[in-house]
Structures are given as structure tokens and as C-alpha cells.
Amino acid sequence: MPPPLFISSPIHHQNLFQQNPQQAGGTGPFAPAHNTTDPTLPNHTLYLPSTVPATARLPVLIWGNGACLADGSAFSLLLHEVASHGVFVIANGAPGGKGTTNSGMLTEAVNW
């Protein structure tokens, strides 16, 4: 099994995208995607396709916002797009979260 893929982004979160309502759920074959939270993984935001075939196995992307930003919805448009292509995304921070994150949150997501 290959090691987990960690992606970091030098792009400032406020200037990443202008929100387009028609693209908010992504444009991939599994669109629309949505985001949610789970009480068993606090301080994280989950992005996933709204409809997944019962036999499908989705790859998992663990997303760190960069600059220790604790807002799991900071890259919402991008992460909805990724999820609409059949990827289950776990982002650091609750939706609209405040404060900072740490590397332990990435480990929590991998272990979840």
C-alpha cells in the first residue's frame, strides 16, 4: 500500500476562488459533492460525493489547509470539486472553524 499523500498549498485561502453557485457541488461524475462533519472526528470537515455506488471504494485525501488554518471550509470549492470526482476528503478544521491546527490533526484523520 502506498503511503498517504499529503498536499500543502501556498495559496492564500481568501483569494483561491470566487464561489460560483453552479460549481459549488463540483463538476465531476459523482457531482454534486457535499461536506459534513462526524462527531467521532471532531474539528474536521468531510467532503464526499452525494451518491456513491454501493460497491465503490473511494480513495482518501487528507487535506491540511496550510498556515495552520483551522477552517475546514476555507478551500470548499476546490475540495467539493475533488470529491465530485470520487475522492473522500478529510480536511483539518471544522466548517468555519477558528484558531489553528497542528500535525496531530492529520494523524487523527489518517487513523479515523
Residue-wise pLDDT for 62-91, tens only, equals: 999 888 899 999 999 999 999 999 999 999
Blockwise average pLDDT, block size 10, the chain, 112 residues: 48 42 77 96 96 90 92 95 96 95 95 96
| Residues paired with residue 62 on neighbouring β-strands, in sequence order | 6, 90
Q: How far apart are CA 93 and CA 80, in angstroms?
A: 16
Q: 80 to each of 37, 83, 110, how far by Cα in Å? A: 14, 5, 20
Domain positions in the chain: 25-111
Q: How far apart are CA 73 and CA 91, in angstroms?
A: 8
